[in-house]
Structure 1
Amino acid sequence: MQSKQILLPDAQRHEAFLRSAQFAPELARIPFKWRNRVITAAMAKMAWSSWYKIYESIATSFVREFAEQYVPAGVDLSQSDADIVATAERAAAGVTKMLWMAVSDTHALQIMEDECTAYGIELPEFDALADTIARLVDARWWRRQLRKRVKRAFEAGNIRLGYVNYRGEPYASNDAVLSRLAQNRRNAAALAATLVQNENGQQFSIAELAEKTTANKAIRRGELMLRINGFEQIARECGDQGIFITWTCPSRFHAMQHSGKPNDKFDGSTPREANAYLGKMTSLCRSALARRGIGLYGFRIAEPHHDGCPHWHLLLFVRPTAKYKTAHLQDVAGRAIRIMKRYAWRVDRGEPGAFARRLDVKRIDWAKGSAAGYIAKYVAKNIDGVAEHKTKEGYVVTADTEGDVELTPSARVESWAACWGIRQFQQWGGAPVTVWRELRRIEESMLNEAPAAMRRAWDAVQKIDGEKRACWAEYLRAQGGALVPRKELVVTLAKDEKTVIGRYGETLRTTPYGVRCSDLIGVVFKSVRHTWTPVQATGGRGVAVGVAVPRTRVNNCTHPDRPAPATPPAAPAPDLPAEAKTALIAAWAAVNACPYPRLIVPDNPPHKGNGT
C-alpha cells in the first residue's frame, strides 16, 4: 500500500530551509548575534508562498541584499579590535606588495581603489598620488578606517534588526558601548604613560594636561552653561524673544515606533544620514530667516531617540535686524516659527503625525524663570549624566550591566555620538569661542597699551577663583554683540601658517599664536604657548600603544655581540619602460616608503631555456 505523504505547515518548511546546510553558506557572512533575527525577517518575507521554488529564491535574495547593505565585503563584523589591527597590517602589506607591480599612475590608482573596495572603504582623494599612496601603505590609516567601518556597519545592523530601543539596548547597542569604553581605557592608558616636557623643564603626562582642557567633562559642561547664560543675559538686555524647539526627523529615519514595535516605513537610513538631513533643513531655514531680516543666536544640542535616530534641541533668541522686511509684524518669534515649520514639514509632508511631532515649539516666558533651565538638563544628560535619564518619548533609561561593566545612559549617548561622528553641541551666532580661549592665554603685561575694546574683552574672559567669574555676555558686548558678523569682530585670531613634515608628507598647518584688535591694526597680542617634547618615562612599567611585544623571554642584552648578517644581494630589476620605472621610483621616494628606491621581481625569475 502506498504511504501517505504528509506536508509540514508552510512556516515549518520555511524555517527548515533557512536552517538547513544548503542555506548555511548564505548565512556565513551574517554575525552570529544577528542570525535568528535575520531568519525571522526572512520568514516574514516568505510567508505568502508555499512553493519551494518561490520561497527559496525570496529567502536567498533577502539575505544577500541584507548582507550587501550591512556586512562590508572582506570584513568580519564579529572580529575583535586585535583582529582589526591584524587585518589593517595585512591590508597595508598587500597594497605595498601590489604597488611594486604598478606600471603607471593610473595602474597604481586602480590597485588602491580595488583594495579599498575589497574592504568596503572609500579611497581617499588627493591632488597628488603620493599623498594617497602614503596613506594606503600605512597600517595605522587602515586601522582607523576599519574600526570606523566595522563599528558603523555593525551598529547599523543592530538598529535595522531592532536591538536598539528602550526595551532592549537604548540609544546605542551594548556592542558599541563596550567598544567605546574599551577605546577610552586604551586612550587613557596611552595618555597617562606619555610624558612631555616644555621649554621650562616642567614635565606632565598628557592625561594631566587634558584634565585642564574641555576634554574634562566638568570643564566642558561648565563652559557650555556659561555661554548659554551669557546669551540669555544679552537677550534680556536687548528684549529679544526666546524659543525652545525640538526638531525631529520624518518617520522613514526611525527604525522603531514609540511603542517599541518595528517601523514599517523605515528605509534603512543611519543616524549619520538622519543628522545630515537635520543639518540640511536647518541650514535652509537659517538662510530663509536671514533673507527676511530675522537674526537669531543660541545653541543646538543633538541627542538620540531610543532607537538611535537623532533629534535636535534648539534654544534660540530672535530679533529683527535692519533688513527686516515685515515691519508690520511685531511678533518676530511667531514669524520665525512659521518659517521653521515650513522646512520641518517639507519632506514627507503628508505622513500621519508630521504636523504634530516634527517641530515642537515652546516660547520662553521670562516671568517664569531662566531660559537656561530649558536646556541645562540636556547639557548634563549628554555629558556626564543626570539622576533620571528620560528619552524624548518619556521612557526612563536606567544603567545596565554587561558582565562587570556598568553601561550608564550618558555612556550610551557618548558612544552613540562617537560611533556616528555626530557633533553634540553647536553654537549659532555670537562671537567665536576660539578667540575667548585664546584671550585666556594672554598675560596682562601684554595689554599695557591695548585699546579699550581689547582690554574689555580680556577682562571678560578672566576667572579668579573665589573673586571673579568669567562673563560670556560681557565678551559678546566687547566683540560687537550677539549678531556681529565675522568680518566685523573687534578681536580676532592671529594665525601662523607653515609647512610641516607630517606622517604622510608635507602639510600646511595653521596655528594661532595670539589675537588682533581692529582698533590697533598691525599689532598682535601674543599668547603664552609652550613647546612640548616627549620624554622617556622612568621608573615603573610604562604602557605604550602600537609597540610589539617580544616573542620570547630571552634577554638579548646578555648575549655577546654578534656580527650583523650580511645584506642579501639585490634582485635584478625587471625590464620596465623607462617612464614607468621613473614614475614608480619617484612616487615611493616622495613618501620615504622604503630605505632606497628599488624594484622587486618574483622569487623565481624566468631564465633562458627553462621553458617559462
Structure 2
Amino acid sequence: MTCYQRRLTEAPTPPAPFSKLWDAVNKYGTRECRLFRGEHIRRHFPIERELLSAYLSTCRNSGYQRANSQLREYSRALAVTEYRFSATMDDEDIRQLSDQFARKCERAYSKRAIRGDFDGAIEAAKIEVEAQGIEWPADVKQGDSPETARGKQAAAAARAQTPTWWRRKLRVVCGRKVEAVLRDSGAVCSRRAPYLSDWAHRRWLCSQTRNAGLLANLDAVNQDGDIVPLEQCVEASVSNPVNRRHELMTRIGGWEALANAMDLKGLFLTLTCPSAYHAILSQSGQVNPNYNGSTPAEAQQYLCGVWARIRAAWKRAGIKSFGLRVCEPHHDGTPHFHFVLFFSPEHIEPAWEIFQKHALTEDGNEHGAHKHRAVRVDADPTKGSATGYIAKYISKNIDGYGFSTDELGDESGIPPDQNAGRIRAWASLWGIRQFQQIGSCSVTVWRELRKLSEPLDGVDQALAEQLRSAADHGHWAEFVELMGGEHGPFASRNQQAMRALLFIKEKPGQYGEDITHIVGVALRQAAREIAIRTRFTEWMIVPRGAQPCALNLAERSPPPWTCVNNCTPSETSTRQ
C-alpha cells in the first residue's frame, strides 16, 4: 500500500476543515449524490476545497445533475493508472509509483529482448510509457540512419527502465493534470489565486526547498582538489534571478545604444490569444462560456505558431529586427507575449501590418480583437527609453525588484516578490520559456568569453581579444558590433565572428548516448577556424564531507577534436 492509498483510507468523512462547505454542498441532491460526492472528492483530498467550491457554484448555476457530471469529468481527468491513483499525490507517492513503472517497463522489455526481439521489446516498453500519457523519449528523425535510429530507441528504452526518469515525467504529468482541472473550475484567477493555483504554488515551493536541501549537501571538486559548495555555483550562475535580471538588462541596454547609433526605431508589440483560450473572464471572474479547454501550454503553442508565421513573413519581405520577447501570464494563467524590437525606419509599417494580420487570423472579428490581440506602441525618446519600458516586464517576471504593489499595477494585488515567484512557478509548471532573444548575436559565446578574465595569449587575431574584452567588461553593444561585422546586429549565426566550440565526450552518458560538451569558442576565418578554450577544469559532484578520489585529469591532453567542432588542432589555445 502506497502512502497515497494509506492516507485515502484514513481520510475523515467529511473532513472537518471544510465542514461549512460540505454542509452547503450536502443540501443538494439525493443520498446517492452525497455518497458519490464523498467518494470522488475524497479521492482527491489535497484539492478538496477547490472541488467543493466548484461543485457548489455549479449546483447554484446549473443544478446538482450538472455538478455531478462535472465532478465525474474532473475525477476522470485527475486519474493516474486507471483510477487507482490521483494526480494530487505527493512526491513520496510519485517516487513509489516511479519505481513500479520502471520495474514494469523492465519486465516488458526484458521478456522480448531475451529472445532477441529488439523491435518487440522497444514496442512493449513504448506501450507502457504512453499508457501513462507520457511521450516516448526517442527523437528519431526522418534522415537518421538505421544505426542511429536503433541507438535512440535503445536509449529511450533505458530511460523507461529508470525510476529517476519516471519521477521527473510523473511530476510534470501530475502537476499539469491537477492544474488543468483547477483552472477549468475557476480556481485560478485574480480573485482567488493569480496565474496558478495555490496547490501548484505550494508544490513549487516544496520543490524549491527540496532542491535547496540537495544543493546544500553536495560539493563540486576538480582535478586540482579545489572544492566549491554547489549552492555557490548556482548563486554565481544565471540560475540566480538577480544575475538573470542583470544580464537581460545589460543586453537590452546595449541593443538600445546600438539602435540609437544606427538610427533604428524601437517598437513595443503585444501578442495575445483569442478569447477562447482564456478560462476565466477578467472582469467578472466567472468561467468563460466560450472557453475551448486549452491549457497554458497549448496556448503557448498557439502563440509560438503565430510568431513563427510572422517571422517567416518578415523574412520573405526582407524585414530584419532584433530585440527581446517576454512571455507572462494573464490572471488566469493564459500566456501572452511582449516584444521590444528594433527595425530600420522604413520597415516599421510593413512589419506592423504583417504582425497585425497574423495576430488576427484566428477569431479576428470577435469583440475587442483589434484593441487587445495585437498592440503597438512606438518608442518615443521624449517619454522614456526602450530599456525603461521593458525593465518592468523583466523585473515583474523574475524577482519584482524595484516595484511596490501599487507601482507594479498588477491585477494580482500581492507583493511584487511573491508575484514574481508565482509567475516563475507558472512557467516551471507549464514548461514555458519566459525570455527569448530575437536575432542579434550568440549569448552563449558572450558567456563563454566572460570566463576569460586575462588577455588571450597565443592567438594571432586581434578580433578575438577585442571580443573577449568587450564581454569581460559587460559592453554588449560593442560585442554585438564586433560579432556581426559589416552585418551588425542583423548578422545571422553563420555570419557571426565566433561560435560555441563543442566536442563529444569519450565516455557515453547514462543511457548510452554521446554527450556533447562546450569547451570554448571558435573564431571564424576565411579558410579555417581558430579554437580558443574557455574551460580548463573538469568537475565532479560529490556528497559534502566525502573524501573523493582525486580526479586524474591533470596529465590528460585537451579534449579530442571531432567533426562536431571542425577546428584546426594546431591553432588551439593551450592555456593552462
d(CA) in 1 for partners of 2:26, 2:92: 40
Q: Secondary structure at the match of 2:399?
A: coil
Counterpart for residue 430 of structure 2? 420
* Unaligned segments of structure 2, at least 5 residues: 1-24, 140-148, 548-576
Counterpart for residue 291 of structure 1? 316
Moved more, 136-145 or 64-73: 64-73
The 1:106/1:459 distance shift into structure 2, 3 A limit, reads: closer
What letter is aligned with 1:373?
Answer: G
The 1:234/1:34 distance shift into structure 2, 3 A limit, reads: same
What letter is aligned with 1:90?
Answer: Q
Check the 8 A contact 1:461/1:472 in 2, yes or no.
yes
d(CA) in 2 for partners of 1:445, 1:18: 79
Which of 196, 203, 206 matches 1:172? 196
Moved more, 300-309 or 440-449: 440-449
d(CA) in 1 for partners of 2:125, 2:292: 32
Counterpart for residue 18 of structure 2? none
d(CA) in 1 for partners of 2:27, 2:193: 32
d(CA) in 2 for partners of 1:385, 1:394: 11
Counterpart for residue 498 of structure 2? 491
Deviation at 1:338, TM superposition (A): 1.4
Check the 8 A contact 2:452/2:472 in 1, yes or no.
no
Counterpart for residue 212 of structure 1? 236
Please say if 1:138 is aligned against 2:162.
Answer: yes
Check the 8 A contact 1:391/1:397 in 2, yes or no.
no
d(CA) in 1 for partners of 2:100, 2:337: 41
Check the 8 A contact 1:438/1:515 in 2, yes or no.
no
Please say if 1:274 is aligned against 2:299.
Answer: yes
* Unaligned segments of structure 1, at least 5 residues: 1-10, 48-54, 321-329, 401-406, 464-469, 541-612
1:349-384 per-position Cα deviation (integer Å, ceiling 9, x unaligned): 121111111012110012333110111011111111
Counterpart for residue 20 of structure 1? 34
The 1:122/1:519 distance shift into structure 2, 3 A limit, reads: closer
Deviation at 1:251, TM superposition (A): 0.6
Which of 284, 289, 307 matches 1:264? 289
d(CA) in 1 for partners of 2:160, 2:422: 33
1:95-130 per-position Cα deviation (integer Å, ceiling 9, x unaligned): 333444336445434432443344332333353343
d(CA) in 2 for partners of 1:359, 1:181: 34
Moved more, 22-31 or 116-125: 22-31
Moved more, 175-184 or 442-451: 442-451
1:200-220 per-position Cα deviation (integer Å, ceiling 9, x unaligned): 221111111122111122211
The 1:414/1:18 distance shift into structure 2, 3 A limit, reads: farther
Q: Secondary structure at the match of 2:464?
A: helix
d(CA) in 2 for partners of 1:117, 1:65: 21
Which of 526, 539, 550 matches 2:533? 526
Which of 449, 455, 466 matches 1:456? 466
TM-score normalised by length of structure 2? 0.80
Which of 80, 95, 107 matches 2:105? 95
Counterpart for residue 442 of structure 1? 452
Counterpart for residue 398 of structure 1? 414
Q: Secondary structure at the match of 1:514?
A: strand
Deviation at 1:522, TM superposition (A): 3.8
TM-score normalised by length of structure 1? 0.75
Check the 8 A contact 1:164/1:170 in 2, yes or no.
yes
Which of 473, 480, 489 matches 1:476? 480
The 1:451/1:216 distance shift into structure 2, 3 A limit, reads: same
Q: Secondary structure at the match of 2:426?
A: helix
Counterpart for residue 304 of structure 1? 329
Please say if 1:35 is aligned against 2:51.
Answer: yes
d(CA) in 2 for partners of 1:437, 1:408: 29
Counterpart for residue 356 of structure 1? 371
d(CA) in 2 for partners of 1:13, 1:211: 54
Check the 8 A contact 1:192/1:208 in 2, yes or no.
no
d(CA) in 2 for partners of 1:368, 1:62: 51
Aligned sequence identity (%): 31
Check the 8 A contact 2:505/2:517 in 1, yes or no.
yes
d(CA) in 2 for partners of 1:434, 1:89: 37
Number of equivalent positions: 500
d(CA) in 2 for partners of 1:335, 1:117: 45
The 1:333/1:145 distance shift into structure 2, 3 A limit, reads: same
d(CA) in 1 for partners of 2:320, 2:131: 49
Moved more, 415-424 or 503-512: 503-512
Counterpart for residue 576 of structure 1? none
After superposition, the CA RMSD in angstroms is 2.8
d(CA) in 1 for partners of 2:407, 2:118: 53
Please say if 1:246 is aligned against 2:270.
Answer: yes
Moved more, 262-271 or 100-109: 100-109
What letter is aligned with 1:493?
Answer: A
Q: Secondary structure at the match of 2:193?
A: coil
Deviation at 1:293, TM superposition (A): 1.4
Check the 8 A contact 1:165/1:307 in 2, yes or no.
yes
d(CA) in 1 for partners of 2:163, 2:206: 20
d(CA) in 2 for partners of 1:246, 1:429: 18
Please say if 1:432 is aligned against 2:446.
Answer: no
What letter is aligned with 2:178?
Answer: F
Q: Which has the larger radius of gyration?
A: 1
The 1:497/1:96 distance shift into structure 2, 3 A limit, reads: closer
Q: Which has the higher contact order (CA 8 A, sep 6+)?
A: 1
Moved more, 218-227 or 94-103: 94-103
The 1:15/1:447 distance shift into structure 2, 3 A limit, reads: farther
The 1:390/1:283 distance shift into structure 2, 3 A limit, reads: farther
Check the 8 A contact 2:217/2:543 in 1, yes or no.
no
Please say if 1:313 is aligned against 2:334.
Answer: no
1:55-111 per-position Cα deviation (integer Å, ceiling 9, x unaligned): 96x666544444444544444122111111111112212333344433644543443
Please say if 1:377 is aligned against 2:392.
Answer: yes
d(CA) in 1 for partners of 2:524, 2:226: 32
What letter is aligned with 1:183?
Answer: S
Counterpart for residue 586 of structure 1? none
Please say if 1:342 is aligned against 2:367.
Answer: no
Check the 8 A contact 1:245/1:362 in 2, yes or no.
yes
Deviation at 1:335, TM superposition (A): 2.0
Check the 8 A contact 2:521/2:532 in 1, yes or no.
yes
